[in-house]
Structure 1
Amino acid sequence: MAFWILLLLGLATYLIVRHSVADITQTPVWLLWLVLMTPAFILSGWTLINGAKIPPPPGLIIWPSLVSLLLYWVLFQRGRQLPADTHTPTTELQLPNSPAPEPEPVRPIELAEETNLRNCFPWSVYYIQNIEYRPQAVICRGQLRTTPSNAYQRIKTNIEGQFGDRFLVIFQEGMNGKPFFVLVPNAQAAKSKTNQDQEQLTKPGLALLLFAATLVTTTLVGVKIAGIEPTKLNSDFNLIFKGLPYALGLMTILGIHEFGHYITAKLYKIRTTLPYFIPVPFFLGTFGAFIQMRSPIPHRKALFDVSIAGPIAGFVVTLPLILWGLSHSDVVPLTAKTGFLNTNALNPSYSILIALLSRLALGSELTTNSAINLHPVAVAGFLGLIVTALNLMPVGQLDGGHIVHAMFGQRTAIVIGQVARLLLLLLSLIQEEFLLWAIILLFIPLIDEPAMNDVTELDNGRDLLGLLAMGLLLIIILPLPQAIARLF
């Protein structure tokens, strides 16, 4: 099993490096791959010498991982040092909601209008040096001479005064570290404001129908979690109410999570749909809930606030539910079948946060040789933590990917996302339950859509909140160290 995981890890690592950073660094792909795979090779060598039953010491996991990540970062940065006159490659441009390029190049503006465009860039704000015409886009490069926030607002106002609503104005950071402006033809301008206002985004009827269907499917799953065979419902339908604690708990967590996104998006006047649940008659009874935003994100501050609002809201409601559920759960002996995702015999030491919450709720009943048979409400709370952790993964268009994008910029977020995927694959060598997560993350693109002003950085308060969110992710997915477990 370990060999196949190592093989999968090696192939996945190579593909990730090749597709993610091969175009933005001159460091050989094989060298980056070798550096990232070094911790896995060391762990595999330990297992080969000492056997799978003897766990490796923590230092053998932590120090090689830290050194390899540091070396990877140094090699990546050295390879990114481009000549001063090198233009950013075409692949860097990621436009929100932009239409597909037409077969023949189309100039968004006429040559006669170029002078008017240049006049929109005061030399004291953004000294324009070069204008590139692309299919359905105009790229304006130059030197920033004021704060990014002031520059974006001034240039945007000037362009709207000169060209009206013909263009969406995007301010993005290039791979060479220099910010540039992009003018994209505004497809929505063709629609009258009346038609946009009449377009019904919320569809409350559909949202209510999906909510009701998901309540039914999660209740049926909750009946099984409560230990009741579904066939018994034929003789006593009142047993269906045994599934409501799980169903209501899980749907409350998922709903509050999405409403956190929804309400925050509304505060920034971002057009968005209501939360829609996804019912399924198996698994957890649902594949979660989602909203769709139908207008671009104005700036990185909005991107951060909308993204982090969901996990925070979901976590706040998860805490009391899981504490109540844990206090009504049964302590059972620890067995070989006990695992992280086994709710019939959950080993709390597989997660730092769950171990701490279990100790708080169960007190002296819980020992190092104990597992927990979760109450249905505790199952819902446990799944709420899993949903929070999965959403906080700093990869692509997950909430965590948006958060690191807003904190560090799109270029650094791509690297962080790649490292996160590889670390989760490495963690799956220790906890096989994470292998499915790691595979799912491989199919999530690393590139996130930019905000309209994707250059202005966040304030210190939001940066701190983002780091705390990443800390929450770590204490959910990392196992409790044995040294701390003995103190319990």
Structure 2
Amino acid sequence: MIWISLSIFGLVLYFIVHHSVSRTTNTPTWLLWLVLMIPALVAGGWAAVYGADVKPPPRLWIPSTIFALISYLYLARPNKRKPAPQSSEAQNTEPENSQSAEDSPNREEKPPKPIAAANLLTKGEESQLQNCFPWSIFYLQNVDYRPQVVICRGQLRSQPEKAYQTIRENIKTQFGDRFLVVFQDGAMNKPFFILVPNPQTQEKEKRRGPVSRPGLALGLFFSTLLTTTLAGLNFSVPDLTRQLLRDQPQLILQGLPYALALMAILGIHELGHYFTARRYRIKATLPYFIPVPISFFPIGTLGAFIQQRSPVPNRKALFDVGIAGPLAGLMVTIPVLFWGLMNSTVVTIPDKIEGLPFDAMNPTSSILLSLFSKLAMGSALTLDKGIDLHPVAIAGWIGIIATALNLMPIGQLDGGHIVHAMFGQRNGAIIGQIARLLVLFLAFIQPPLLIWAIILLFMPTVDQPALNDVSELDNKRDLLGLISLGILVLIILPLPHSVAHLLFAANPIP
């Protein structure tokens, strides 16, 4: 069973590495995958030798995890692309009587020319490009050729939305689907246009196959259902042994409530992203769940994700796609958590808690958890008491934690998309840097956040730009974005002591 779980986890991890970082580095995908598999292989080897019930010591898994993380970051760093070889046409334009570098070693070398920049547009096409910019909309002043892009700078003389729509339609009329038109803010708040070759028209992109793979999605779904059911069984029957499971195989059904609740939360979160992306005609894959052996990660999954295969049209779409997942997930998470808390039991908080604190959760560790716990459990829950969470409550709390992690205003996370859409790409990156430092500082108050802080430090803070990255959001979306960040604060901040004494008083004042 251990090696079956490792095989499933390895296949999923290879798929993720191949589709996420293999295009940005020259390091072979198998080597990146092997480095990331080191902690799982260590855990699997330990379980094979000493049994799954014996946890590997920290001196074994901590160094292996740190080594794997540092090695992966080193190997996965982006490599600079080598200059493309000069075309034969360009070579023929050199004077025939010119001396070679070997014949004249003292001759001053000329700087290298931009690679393939001049090939994007001919002289005639450059004139066509200038006609795409009406002077009353965007007064074109300069066309700058860069490797594989054309940058058009000038003065914006109309509303950003109108300017982008007009110029995009003009370029499409002149050049068809040859270019993607990107509209970005520049220095001194001077927006500019970028023409990028459309990857959808490239032969390599056409050979990539279908966007969604239902067979793969279903396979990962049922694999994750198995691993989360086993995790739920461990939560429901803490003293479970292999012999007991062989004698009473029907016990596995006790793991289904946790598994179904958690997968519903994660799945609906990703479906929120998926259907909103489809609404804006953004190509996206079906949700892919990530199963993980419970010997490696006791909750049975690393979550779920979708991949977007086409650019986001504007900041409005970026915001809507980003916030749809957390909102859809919370609509399921909150009732699941509340029902689970109502079926949980009040226990005394031990002096020392080992492992996951699901059997003695301190509700004051989160403002949001404190409020829901008091509503669900009433006067039985006092300041010196903890909660032995029902498996469904565990699923709900994991959903809350996953929502908080996704709402972090950093890079490619949902929160990163939200602040990018609200404040712009540059300001969003600054907010991401501040958020990482705040989480690191908060980890001294909330030690469980230390793992988050370390993960966030290695995540890029710059989000990918939308095609129209200049047009701003309306007031309703700005308000909704602030509310989502407020929910994040309620989840990760502990309940203040003064409020805790009032909320969890043994004999509250009527």
- TM-score range relative to shorter protein: 0.7 to 0.9
Please report the TM-score for the alignment, with normalisation by the length of structure 2: 0.74
Determine the structure 1 residue equivalent to 2:290.
278
Structure 1 residue 101 displacement after superposition: 7.9
| Residue pairs, 1:40-439, within 5 angstroms | 102-103=83-84, 105-106=115-116, 107=118, 108-191=120-203, 199-226=209-236, 227-231=238-242, 232-282=244-294, 283=297, 284-337=299-352, 342-439=357-454
Q: Aligned residues: percent identity? A: 59
1:74 counterpart residue number: none
Contact 1:277 1:288 in 2 (8 A): yes
Q: Displacement, 1:116?
A: 1.7
Q: Secondary structure at the match of 2:150?
A: strand
Which residue is 2:105 aligned to?
none
Q: Could you give the per-residue CA deviations for residues 231-253 of structure 1, whole angstroms, max 9, x where no partner exists?
A: 12111101101111111111110
Unaligned runs of 5+ in 1: 1-98
Partners of 1:345 and 1:177 in 2: CA distance: 53
8 A Cα contact 1:339 1:347, kept in partner: no
Deviation at 1:113, TM superposition (A): 2.4
In structure 2, distance between residues paired with 1:339 and 1:236: 29
Residues in 2 aligned to 1:416 and 1:300: alpha-carbon distance in whole angstroms: 17
Counterpart residue identity of residue 116, structure 1? Q
**How far apart are the structure 2 equivalents of 1:101 and 1:484?**
60
Q: How many residues align?
A: 388
Moved >4 Å (runs of 4+): 99-102, 338-341
CA distance in 1, matches of 2:162, 2:82: 31
Give the whole-Å Cα distance in 2 for the aligned partners of 1:399 and 1:340: 29
Q: Deviations over 1:252-283 (max 9, x none)?
A: 10000000000111111111110010111121
- Other structure's SS at 2:469 match: coil
User: Counterpart of 1:432 in structure 2: which amino acid?
Assistant: P
For residue 343 of structure 1, give the secondary structure of its aligned residue in structure 2.
helix
Distance 1:340 1:158, change over 3 A: farther
Q: State whether residues 296 and 452 of structure 1, in contact with CA within 8 Å, keep that contact through their aligned partners in structure 2.
A: yes
Q: How far apart, in 2, do the equivalents of 1:310 and 1:469 lie?
A: 11
Q: CA deviation at 1:333?
A: 1.1
Residue-by-residue CA offset, 1:139-168 (whole Å, 9 max, x unaligned): 011111110000000010111111121111
Shift of 1:335: 2.8
Secondary structure of 2:395 counterpart: helix
Q: CA deviation at 1:199?
A: 3.7
CA–CA distance in structure 1, aligned partners of residues 199 and 152 of structure 2: 20
Q: Which residue of 2 aligns with 1:468?
A: 483
CA distance in 2, matches of 1:157, 1:102: 33
Contact 1:225 1:376 (C-alpha < 8 Å) held by counterparts: yes
CA separation in 2, counterparts of 1:446 and 1:200? 30
- Aligned AA for 1:441? L
Deviation at 1:100, TM superposition (A): 6.4
AA aligned opposite 2:181? V
Q: 2:480 is matched by which residue type in structure 1?
A: L
Q: CA deviation at 1:470?
A: 0.2
Q: Which has the higher contact order (CA 8 A, sep 6+)?
A: 1
The separation in 2 between residues aligned to 1:190 and 1:256, in whole angstroms, is 34
TM-score normalised by length of structure 1: 0.77
Q: Which amino acid is 1:349 matched to?
A: T
Q: Which moved more, 1:329-338 or 1:441-450?
A: 329-338
The AA in structure 2 aligned to 1:270 is I
